[in-house]
Amino acid sequence: MISRMPSIIKSLKLISDPTRLRIMSLLHQDALSVAELQEILGMGQSRISTQLSQLKAASLVADERSGKNNVYSASLPEELIPITTSAAEEIPEVAADNLALSHILSKRKDYARAYFDELAGRFGKDYVPGRSWKALAEALIKALNYRHIADLGAGEGTLSQLLAQRAEKVIAVDLSPKMVDYAQSLAAANGLHNLEFRLGDIENPPIEDSTIDLAILSQALHHAENPQRAIDSAHRILRPGGRLIILDLLQHSFTEARELYADRWLGFSESQIATMLRKSGFSEVETIIADKEESAPKFQTLLAIGTR
Confidence band of 142 (pLDDT split at 50, 70, 90):
low
Mean pLDDT value of segment 235-251: 96
Closest to 202 measured CA to CA, from 150, 161, 274, 245: 150
- Alpha-carbon distance 131 to 223, whole Å? 14
Strand partners, 289: 302
SS3 (DSSP) at 145 = coil
Residue 34 has pLDDT above 50, yes or no: yes
Task: Tell me the pLDDT band of 205, cut-offs 50, 70 and 90.
Answer: very high
Beta strands 212-218 and 238-249: pairing type? parallel
Q: Which domains does the chain have, with CATH numbers?
A: 2-91 (1.10.10.10), 123-307 (3.40.50.150)
Average model confidence (pLDDT) across the chain: 88
Please give the model's pTM, rounded to 2 decimal places.
0.66
State the burial class of residue 57 (Cβ atoms within 10 Å of its Cβ: 0-12, 13-18, 19+): exposed
Task: Give burial (CB, 10 Å; 0-12/13-18/19+) of 42.
Answer: exposed
Give the whole-angstrom CA distance, residue 282 versus residue 268. Answer: 18
Burial of 45 (0-12, 13-18, 19+ CB in 10 A): exposed
Quickly state the pLDDT bin for 137 (edges 50, 70, 90): low
Question: Hey, what amino acid is at 193?
Answer: H
Per-residue pLDDT, 229: 96
Q: Taking 50 as the threshold, does the pLDDT of residue 63 lie above it?
A: yes
Say if residues 130 and 299 touch (Cβ distance below 8 Å): yes
Omega before 240 cis (within 30°)? no
| Element spanning 117, H or E | helix 93-119
Sequence length of the chain is 308
| Mean pLDDT to the nearest integer, 45-67 | 89
* Residues 6+ away with beta carbon under 8 Å from 179: 116, 117, 119, 120, 123, 155, 156
Q: What is the model's pLDDT at position 113? A: 72
3-state SS track over 214-277? EEEEECCHHHCCCHHHHHHHHHHHEEEEEEEEEEEEECCCCCCHHHHHCCCCCCECHHHHHHHH
What is the pLDDT averaged over residues 146-153? 95
Q: What is the pLDDT of residues 252-272, one digit of tens each?
A: 999 999 989 989 999 999 888
Tell me the per-residue pLDDT of 78-110, one tens digit each, with 9 for 90 and over. 888 888 889 999 999 999 898 888 888 877 777
Listed residue (28, 25, 30, 26) closest to 227, CA to CA:
30
Least confident of 5-9, 96-100, 222-226: 5-9
234: confidence class by pLDDT, cuts 50, 70, 90: very high
CA distance linking residue 112 with residue 70, whole number of Å: 20
